A and B are shown apart, each in its own frame.
Chain A
Amino acid sequence: MHEVVQAIILGVLVGGIYALMASGLTLVFGIMKVINVAQGALVILAAYLSYALFSHLHIDPFLSILIVTPAMFVLGVAVQLVFVRSLRGPDGSELSLLVTWALALGIEGVLSVIFKTNFRVTSPSYGDNSWSILGYQISEVRLFAFASSAVLLLLLSLLLTRTRFGRAVRATVQNPTAATLLGVDANRVQTLSFGLGVSMAAAAGAVYGVIYPFNPGSHYDLISRLLSIVVLGGLGSLGGAVFAALGMGVIEALVAVEISPVWSSFSFFVVLIAFLLVRPQGIFGVRERVL
């Protein structure tokens, strides 16, 4: 029993970080029907940036979120303008899968040229500390990581519900044509939201590098989980993504404890496929509209 509770705690803490990454992915899909396969590669890119800031300038990885996130926001806006915006037309969203995949390969290639392919981990002095509460071990960095993800997700939801920009975004998600008719600048909303989605990856990446060792090829591992999370949660649903991410964290941690760590991500994929049998649109998803 103790083991199970410990696994659930660990799973929730890890799931929180995945929730942050997946929220960016599902937000971008909700607005422009684009799946950003490069989200995983962008997370790794941010992890490297934060790693470089830490090892050369001794900036704390959690502080580096404040530097990496705005920088990657700019990068995201640039990517949208150069690569994604031109994909219009009936099969634009399918093409976007491949274009962002190519982008992911490009990022992987550039990172391997600069940093080589050996595994790195950002290890601040407090990296191995952990607290023990009621007999359960809680690693300090994982708790910080979870907390900063939660704060950022809260900020994102405030941005979407309390601001004028957020209202424009939600209007675009619900009905792009009507939003445009009411004076929402669709291009601006799309570009800024893509940047926002990438900055979620960035913030999560800075944190990711503290918890897991990573190399340029790690993005496949990330994107396979992230895509499963957003599909399980229902494409375009923020709440669904958060819920599914926490669920994934818990399932993986439980399988790792009860069966074997090598089967943990496999089990989540199987859960996804089994779930789609019952509910193809995901937990909170709406059936994809046919035009």
Chain B
Amino acid sequence: MSRATAAGLARGAAFAAAAIAFPFVFNAAWIVNIGVLTLMYAALATAWNLFSGYTGYITLGQAAFFGLGAYTLGIVFEHVGIGSGYNPFYALPLVGAGIAIASVPVAWIALRTRHMTFAIVTLTLLFIVQQLAFNLRSLTKGSSGLMLPTPSFPISSYDTPFYLAMLAILLAGLALCWLILRSKLGLMLLAIREDEEKARGLGIRVTGAKLIAWSLMVWLSAMVGGVWAYYLTFIYPESSVDPLVMIGAVLMTFLGGRGTLWGPTIGALVLVPAQQYMITKLGASQLYLVGYSAVFMVVLLLLPRGILPSLRSAIDKQRERRRTHREPIVREEARA
């Protein structure tokens, strides 16, 4: 269980302060735009890690909830009216919570299956949502796409509210992960990851614990989807339920280190700017896809544990070496 160390709190505060200050220091629109995307992926990766990193159950359905968030916000705009400007942001936690609650019965069915089957069933959720987006034309306008009203933010700092909204979701995700890691729930999830049968035998309510982590993952992902939809103001089925977005978040989690607190964020900080650079260099085209898959392969095959765990074990080894280096001297002293 991680403790609330001074260093850990300082790290969190420093990250939050730097991230909040960033768009006011570097206020060029294209930089803030990359910032929005980076935070979006960081939040998605943190959400994915919250469920899959801690329980060991890989879900391939996250994009479904991202898309549901995007479409729900769009549909609410059309049919309910939630104001303009900043107001939709305040409605997002509710939208996310609704989607999370609705997803629990499906998750319960999916969680009746074991690891591999679970991953596949969650992947079918993605395709189900995409099909719904295509077919429920009266709500989603199908493949012609859904238009959201453009918010009336000043042009010069248009991206900043979205940046802050994404940041708020990321910070909420990090805070949740941190709380979970130091709580009993965290211990339960880790026990499930290590040996589910044994955990069940010890009286842990494994399904309940997994469902809590699942609904938090859905809540965060749906909110990110909502902000994204409001940011782009135009969504269509292929872009809002995009397996590539999800697989990007998974890749970032693996790069940073799954099951860690900061890993997904670090992965996003490394990969999203690189990804944006590749898009401007190669065009958002086919070559980009080839490069993407190459990076993915390299990360999975050469660094499957991720940056943070690898760094940590390197540091541990260094300390170990220093200790063994020191020991003979101690022994000599003892002899003398």
The distance in angstroms between the C-alpha atoms of A287 and B118, with both chains bound, is: 12
Contact B301 A29 (CB under 8 A): no
Contact A113 B127 (CB under 8 A): no
Is residue B120 within 8 Å, beta carbon to beta carbon, of the partner chain?
yes
Is residue B135 within 8 Å, beta carbon to beta carbon, of the partner chain?
yes
Contact A280 B113 (CB under 8 A): yes
Contact A101 B247 (CB under 8 A): yes
Contact A231 B300 (CB under 8 A): no
Question: Which of A97, A105, A117, A269 meets B293, CB within 8 Å?
Answer: A105
For A230, the closest partner residue in chain B by CB is B120
| One of A142-150, A153-161, A203-211, A220-228 contacting the partner | A220-228
A98-B254 CB under 8 A given contacts A91-B56, A231-B121: yes
Inter-chain contact total with CB atoms closer than 8 Å: 136
Contact B296 A220 (CB under 8 A): no
The distance in angstroms between the C-alpha atoms of A33 and B114, with both chains bound, is: 13
A residues in contact with B109, CB < 8 Å = 273, 276-277
B residues in contact with A235, CB < 8 Å = 116-117
A265-B131 CB under 8 A given contacts A86-B301, A105-B293: yes
Is residue A66 within 8 Å, beta carbon to beta carbon, of the partner chain?
no
For A117, the closest partner residue in chain B by CB is B286
A287-B116 CB under 8 A given contacts A102-B297, A231-B121, A277-B109: no
Contact B290 A95 (CB under 8 A): no
Least CB distance, B112 to chain A, in whole angstroms: 4
Bitwise interface map of B from 65 to 103 toward A, beta carbon under 8 Å scored 1, else 0: 000000000000000000000000000000000000000
Contact B121 A265 (CB under 8 A): no
Bitwise interface map of B from 265 to 309 toward A, beta carbon under 8 Å scored 1, else 0: 000000000000000000001111111111011001100100000
B residues in contact with A80, CB < 8 Å = none
The distance in angstroms between the C-alpha atoms of A281 and B112, with both chains bound, is: 9
Contact B127 A269 (CB under 8 A): yes
How many of chain A's residues touch chain B, expressed as a range?
A: 35 or more
Is residue A83 within 8 Å, beta carbon to beta carbon, of the partner chain?
yes
Bitwise interface map of A from 80 to 93 toward B, beta carbon under 8 Å scored 1, else 0: 00010010000101
B residues in contact with A1, CB < 8 Å = none
Contact B110 A105 (CB under 8 A): no
Contact A227 B123 (CB under 8 A): yes
Question: Which of A33, A98, A112, A277 meets B112, CB within 8 Å?
Answer: A277
The distance in angstroms between the C-alpha atoms of A67 and B127, with both chains bound, is: 33
Contact A110 B290 (CB under 8 A): yes
A224-B124 CB under 8 A given contacts A106-B297, A277-B109: yes
A35-B115 CB under 8 A given contacts A105-B293, A262-B134, A269-B127: no
The distance in angstroms between the C-alpha atoms of A228 and B123, with both chains bound, is: 9
Is residue B148 within 8 Å, beta carbon to beta carbon, of the partner chain?
no
Least CB distance, A136 to chain B, in whole angstroms: 29
The distance in angstroms between the C-alpha atoms of A33 and B115, with both chains bound, is: 11
B residues 126-144 touching A (CB-CB < 8 Å): 127-128, 131-132, 134-135
Contact A228 B301 (CB under 8 A): no
A residues in contact with B135, CB < 8 Å = 262-263, 266
Is residue A290 within 8 Å, beta carbon to beta carbon, of the partner chain?
yes
Is residue A108 within 8 Å, beta carbon to beta carbon, of the partner chain?
yes
Contact B106 A29 (CB under 8 A): no
Beyond the given A224-B127, A273-B110, could you list 14 further A-B residue pairs with CB under 8 A, ordered by the A residue number?
A: A29-B116, A94-B58, A94-B115, A94-B116, A95-B300, A109-B286, A109-B287, A220-B243, A224-B124, A231-B113, A272-B124, A280-B113, A280-B117, A288-B114
12 pairs, A vs B, C-beta closer than 8 Å: A35-B120, A99-B297, A99-B300, A101-B247, A102-B297, A109-B289, A231-B117, A263-B131, A272-B121, A273-B109, A273-B121, A288-B116
